[in-house]
Structure 1
Amino acid sequence: MMRRVKNVGIKRVASLLLCGLLLSGLGGQLGSAAGMASAQAPEPQIIKEVSPSVVGIIGKSSGQGNGGPDDRYNLAHGSGIIVRSDGWIVTNAHVIKDLENVVVVTSDTRKYSITDTYLDEFSDVALIKINAKSLKPAKFAQSAKAVVGEKVIAIGTPVSFSLRNSATVGVISGLGRGGMDAAYRLIQSDTAINPGNSGGPLLNMKGEVLGMNSLKYSAVEIENMGFAIPAETVQYIMKQLFKYGEVKRPSLGLELTESWSAIVGLPTEDPLTVKKVVSAEARKAGINEGDVLYSIDGHPAASLVDINELFKSYTPGTTVRLLMQSDGDIVARQLVLGKGDPLLGGEELTANEMGQTGK
């Protein structure tokens, strides 16, 4: 029987159980065979060049253990990617959440404590800061140019913290994957990953980060089905965290449910159904429970992930046009977006915030 495991990329030293981990694969677009040969470097060279941009993260989960003499070995760990030379590192939110006495170890075995932490659990992305200088930031690619079958490399800290900066090689198995208990679309690869790889990079053959390893399927009859958060999503979250210290997402002020086809993964254009009207703006727009949503500003909305992806280019306070069905009639609704998780109601905007958005 297949079992899906999420947010277990943090290695539990005491148990050594290879539960589902997080990972993924992405890649850069392939050209002709001749072009590939000239643009790509051999795997050993890529690993040597990128490994200094990958760190190991280890600590003790709050509340973990019973305080006994062996409690110091009851640890959890993951991986991270250096994004700025002055000590900023991106990792998975589930890697760092509730972790105490955290130590970050660079590829040259230097140890650091964390001085700042910003979490976004909705996307499972986090930023941490260490007091370091002259670090080597990783380079990010456009994962939208990746192709299925493209070779990729994962670097991380699998199973044991002593195995930091381990590298494995695979190919991209699929793109734009939804329905993985993730807010945004993911990239699938068959690269071998294990608990502790979470937060580490998946690289194309130019040594660029195509995604951040985040989750996988794990069961006796399942092999090499890992998933990564695409580079564009990671960069979107990082930009928001650097600028605001949080992600200012727009919200419809609605709770929506997907069609049966969308839930099971069938190709579908079936609309979303309004389960609950949460915000005053949504009620003001005339939206009611049981209405169905076809599109937002002309963009089809057949799944919750579709809306999350679309809203990466929107801000709270923006007015959007919704094509809906209400009481059997097709209608257009004008709605001012609130802020918060896109599909969990969100918060109302103040008059001052409305003015700041120019709406």
Structure 2
Amino acid sequence: MRKRRTKVACLLLSGAIGIGGVGFLPQAEASAAAKSSGTTSSKTVPQIIAQVSPSVVGIIGEVSSEYVDEWSDYGGSEDGYELAHGSGVIIRSNGWIVTNAHVVDEMENIQVVTSEGKSYKVREVYSDPVSDIALIRINVTGFKPVKFVSSNEKTLVGEQVIAIGTPVSLSLRNSATLGIISGLNRAAGAEYRLIQTDATINPGNSGGPLVNMRGEIVGINSMKFAAVDIDNTGFTIPAGTVQYIVDQLFKQGEVIRASLGLGLEESFSATVGLPSDDPLTVTEVLSDEAAAAGVKEGDVLYSVAGHRITALVDLNELMKTYSPGQTVRVLMQSGGDIVERKVVLTSE
């Protein structure tokens, strides 16, 4: 919540703020494009909602004591209670639910409310604020898990999608809004690429699913831009990133990311979103492994493992395919010379 607001506020210099949806400010028939890719569906919007909605839950809890003052600055709760809420989606039949990290990180005594109105206490929480993904578990079995899209490459701009969640109030849980995929591979101030949608995402929708017309989860809704003259500009964490994070949380309870061990800076063009082939500049050598490879402050990074890198978010995406301890080849400019170095990846 707090970290998400800071990040997006820095991005939107026109005065817009990002909202994630924890109850306050921080949040179809297949399209012609989808048909051209060979993905068609005979299901209607009501059929898709009926299929997925039973797997979507509301999440509510008390605001942690250390965040009460900050939370109150953003309006608090309409009913006077210091509560926050969001959304989640069931991914395992034995009670595992995925949501946003910012939904649960500053909550205590968290409860899950199912579509039929049953309430369960959350027993376990695993959170990754960097990706804004969290796993929570309730001690109940027999749930119907959702199905994620097999590959985000199947998600197309213009494809019709449905957002399901708990906007504004827990009494509005399992509300659905309809829209399209507005854009793909958006940076939007996040660590990883996001999906942009015009399906309405209101405070409280965070952690809920964005669903395609095959009933598959395209991603987990995370934030939106909100300001005068800005309408329906929401962002969703793609299914591929969600599954990458969830797999690590299941295996080890945390996300262990591979890193070059370098502080890097983007060019001005990349920072403001202009098309750019400019490389990254090394601002700091953070690991012994990078220093041993001969990397120095002021060097310029062009590519990693043959992949051209012009933005930090692209490097983060590439690092999802590696583990600490692996070695990668990097193409750099150092002291006026173009050189190739082998860097052993460290953990962040």
TM-score (norm 1): 0.86
Partner of 1:57: 59
Cα distance change of structure 1 residues 238 and 326 upon mapping to structure 2, 3 Å threshold: same
Secondary structure (helix, strand or coil) at the match of 1:113 reads strand
Partner of 1:31: 35
- Structure 2, unaligned stretches of length 5 or more? 1-12, 70-77
Once residues 250 and 310 of structure 2 are traced to their aligned partners in structure 1, the CA distance between those partners, rounded to angstroms, is 31
Higher RCO (CA-CA < 8 Å; seq separation 6+) = 1
Q: Residue 35 of structure 1: CA displacement?
A: 6.3
- Structure 1, unaligned stretches of length 5 or more? 13-18, 22-26, 341-359
Once residues 261 and 178 of structure 2 are traced to their aligned partners in structure 1, the CA distance between those partners, rounded to angstroms, is 43
- Indicate conservation of the 8 Å contact 2:259/2:347, yes or no: yes
* Equivalent in 94, 117, 140 of residue 148 of structure 2: 140
Cα distance change of structure 1 residues 336 and 32 upon mapping to structure 2, 3 Å threshold: closer
1:310 aligns with 2:318: yes
Q: Residue 34 of structure 1: CA displacement?
A: 9.5
Aligned runs of 1:225-304 on 2, under 5 Å?
A: 225-304=233-312
Q: Which amino acid aligns with 2:311?
A: S
Once residues 29 and 216 of structure 1 are traced to their aligned partners in structure 2, the CA distance between those partners, rounded to angstroms, is 25
Partner of 1:94: 102
Q: Residue 65 of structure 1: CA displacement?
A: 4.6
1:6 aligns with 2:18: yes
Q: Which amino acid aligns with 1:58?
A: I
Partner of 1:349: none
Partner of 1:354: none
Secondary structure (helix, strand or coil) at the match of 1:140 reads coil
Deviations 1:24-78 (A, max 9, x none): xxx9971249963xx2410111101100110000011112558xxx997121100
Once residues 60 and 288 of structure 2 are traced to their aligned partners in structure 1, the CA distance between those partners, rounded to angstroms, is 44
Identity %: 58
Partner of 1:167: 176
Once residues 164 and 200 of structure 1 are traced to their aligned partners in structure 2, the CA distance between those partners, rounded to angstroms, is 10
1:48 aligns with 2:56: no
Q: Which amino acid aligns with 2:305?
A: D
- Indicate conservation of the 8 Å contact 1:2/1:218, yes or no: no
Once residues 130 and 181 of structure 1 are traced to their aligned partners in structure 2, the CA distance between those partners, rounded to angstroms, is 32
Q: Residue 110 of structure 1: CA displacement?
A: 1.1
Secondary structure (helix, strand or coil) at the match of 1:269 reads coil
- Indicate conservation of the 8 Å contact 2:19/2:225, yes or no: no
Once residues 2 and 152 of structure 1 are traced to their aligned partners in structure 2, the CA distance between those partners, rounded to angstroms, is 29
Secondary structure (helix, strand or coil) at the match of 1:194 reads coil
TM-score (norm 2): 0.89
Secondary structure (helix, strand or coil) at the match of 1:267 reads coil
Q: Residue 291 of structure 1: CA displacement?
A: 0.3
* Equivalent in 134, 155, 161 of residue 164 of structure 2: 155
Once residues 291 and 36 of structure 2 are traced to their aligned partners in structure 1, the CA distance between those partners, rounded to angstroms, is 54
- Indicate conservation of the 8 Å contact 1:59/1:76, yes or no: yes
1:123 aligns with 2:131: yes
Q: Which stretch has the larger CA shift, 214-223 or 2-11?
A: 2-11
1:204 aligns with 2:212: yes
Q: Which amino acid aligns with 1:30?
A: A
Secondary structure (helix, strand or coil) at the match of 2:34 reads coil
* Equivalent in 184, 193, 205 of residue 192 of structure 2: 184
Secondary structure (helix, strand or coil) at the match of 1:31 reads helix
Deviations 1:134-155 (A, max 9, x none): 0010110022211111110000
Aligned residues: 324
Cα distance change of structure 1 residues 317 and 168 upon mapping to structure 2, 3 Å threshold: same
Cα distance change of structure 1 residues 282 and 309 upon mapping to structure 2, 3 Å threshold: same
Once residues 285 and 35 of structure 1 are traced to their aligned partners in structure 2, the CA distance between those partners, rounded to angstroms, is 47
